[in-house]
Amino acid sequence: MSRFNIRRTKAGPVSPVTSTGQQTANHEGGTGFLRDAKSELFLLAVTNLVGQDTFYEKGGERDDRFTALVRELAVSDPQWTLGLLRWLRYGAFMRTASLVGAAEFTRARLDANAPGYSRQVVDAVLQRPDEPGELLAYWTSRYGRALPKPLKRGVADAVRRLYNGRALLKYDTASKGYRFGDVLELTHPAPHPEKPWQGALFKYALDRRHHPDDAVPPAVDRLLTANRELLTLPVEQRRAVVTGPGGADRLAAAGMTWEALAGWLQGPLDAPVWEAVIPSMGSMALVRNLRNFDQAGVSDEVAAEVARRISNPAEVKRSRQFPFRYLAAHRHAPSLRWGHPLELALRHSLANVPSLPGRTLILVDRSGSMFDRPSAQTDLNRADSAAVFGTALKIRAADADLVQFGTGSYGIEVGKGEPVLKVLKRFGNLGGTDTAKAVRTHYQGHDRVVIVTDEQAHQSWGGDPLAEIPANVPVYTWNLAGYRTGHAPSGGAYRHTFGGLTDAAFRLIPLLEAGRDAAWPWE
């Protein structure tokens, strides 16, 4: 019998989110496929907005599952967990989950008497200047006011990197439980050796905390000095300064934010005031305020400049905002002058969605559980995100069938050059989740299948919903909720599960189809 001189078929490429082979009931009583701890934590981390309920899990239950997984892997594989938490903040832009993860990582390693890594993970997740205070607030609320050395040193490292005059003006406010001065007193950072001005800044932050009426900014800091001059102006003179000649330049030079402007003026933000502060606003601040601009009646000339900035590809890339932020802005500011620039911005934000060759079947889950909002602060839901992503894939693919599914399933037609925002109006709420039926109905020899879903199919539709797709046809599941169980096995050849609508995830399809195994996004 021939054992060696035979033709062997190359196994398909594999990806890291891996099923264990075990099955259990999912949240709907259907068949759920369990994943290993790293896979479960990864999918949960990129979808978990701490403290928020989901359709199937209470916020506390979800947070406990996240904490338990972080603590387990912080001890068993600290390097992998450090990589995840750093990428979670810098690559997936998940702020709160990464801060909580860093605190629980540190606590777990202290409890296990395991040295190393904690200082690095704390520093790694702190990206915005208010986050050192946020992390300390979480730690003391959960573990008391005693701060372990790795935590203090990691926070101190971040403070030296993040604290400057502009950060002080924007984030060191009386509404914060931990002000910049509190963070400095608790962690004792030395000024950064390459920032000779930082020592004076630290002293000023401490004075602002303890003696706000007498605190004087360092004379060498022009931004803080200009801001103090504005703050000391008599109230009756302030509006004239803002709306008069050079008002916009003076606001910018003083680092005056639009959030602080109304309180400082002690009056409404009318069109002249908005027009003075708009030049110094960031692109996402502009997007969030489009409706306010309309209500105030800003001029067409200023509106045209706002439209140019929010649709500029470089501005969109720099803002690092998810596509559905532009959908939310369109819904809240439906005037005609914003529709086209928001459509352009949305498309720019989807620039890394892969352009797929061949024939693609795209299945977008529109079941009831997908209409669960990921946060109480937004009217958007996972169904919105799924529809945006599915439509973008359809537009960029060479030949794609776009299908929405639930209890039933229906094709979505997209005209050539048709705006994404217009296509989204064709999606509906389709009841339960029958993935298997959608696959049976619509799979017709496609080269690949992409499914955007929360993976929770009803019990009457149990089993592997992908069973009728040939084993050598790649199937890509985008998990938008991070529940414990998957709807099908993953991690083997041609069956892949991703989490989060991020650039790193988008790049994986071409990588896998080039025959290369895919690592975790940060590896």
pLDDT tens track for 428-481: 998 888 899 999 999 999 999 999 998 887 755 667 888 899 988 999 998 887
Host H or E run for residue 499: strand 495-499
Which of 27-31, 187-191, 233-237, 474-478 has the weakest average pLDDT?
27-31
Average pLDDT over residues 201-227: 94
Q: How far apart are CA 124 and CA 89, in angstroms?
A: 8
Report whether pLDDT(288) > 50: yes
Average pLDDT over residues 355-381: 82
Task: Give me Rg for the CA atoms of the chain.
Answer: 26
Secondary structure (3-state) at 169: helix
* pTM assigned to the model: 0.84
Amino acid at 17: V
Average pLDDT over residues 139-151: 96
Count of other CB atoms within 10 angstroms of residue 480? 26
Per the CB < 8 A criterion, the answer to whether 23 and 520 are in contact is no
Higher-pLDDT residue of 227 and 26 is: 227
Tell me the pairing of strands 409-411 and 485-486.
unpaired
Count of other CB atoms within 10 angstroms of residue 117? 18
Structure confidence by residue, pLDDT tens digits, 317-339: 888 777 878 888 888 887 889 99
Residue 198's pLDDT is 96
Residue 331's pLDDT is 86
Per the CB < 8 A criterion, the answer to whether 366 and 406 are in contact is yes
**Cα 315 versus chain centre, distance:** 17
Tell me the pairing of strands 409-411 and 448-453.
unpaired
Residue 13's pLDDT is 77
Residue 53's pLDDT is 60
- Rounded to 10 degrees, the C-alpha dihedral 163/167/171/173 comes to 90
Report whether pLDDT(82) > 70: yes
Q: What is the mean pLDDT of the chain?
A: 88
Q: How far apart are CA 202 and CA 182, in angstroms?
A: 11
How buried is residue 322: exposed, middle or buried, by Cβ count under 10 Å (0-12/13-18/19+)? buried
Residue 2's pLDDT is 44
Average pLDDT over residues 484-512: 77
Residue 3's pLDDT is 42
Residue 250's pLDDT is 94
Q: How far apart are CA 183 and CA 188, in angstroms?
A: 8
Average pLDDT over residues 378-407: 88
Residues with Cβ within 8 Å of 257's Cβ and at least 6 positions away in sequence, in order, are 169, 170
User: What's the token pair of residue 70?
Assistant: 């972080």
The DSSP code for 455 is: -
Q: Give the residue from 498, 520, 515, 490 showing the smallest Cα distance to 33.
A: 490
Structure confidence by residue, pLDDT tens digits, 45-77: 877 666 666 654 666 777 889 999 999 999 999
Distances (CA, A) of 457 to 52, 412, 510: 22, 22, 28
Average pLDDT over residues 162-191: 95
Domains detected in the chain: 47-91+94-231 (no CATH), 354-513 (3.40.50.410)
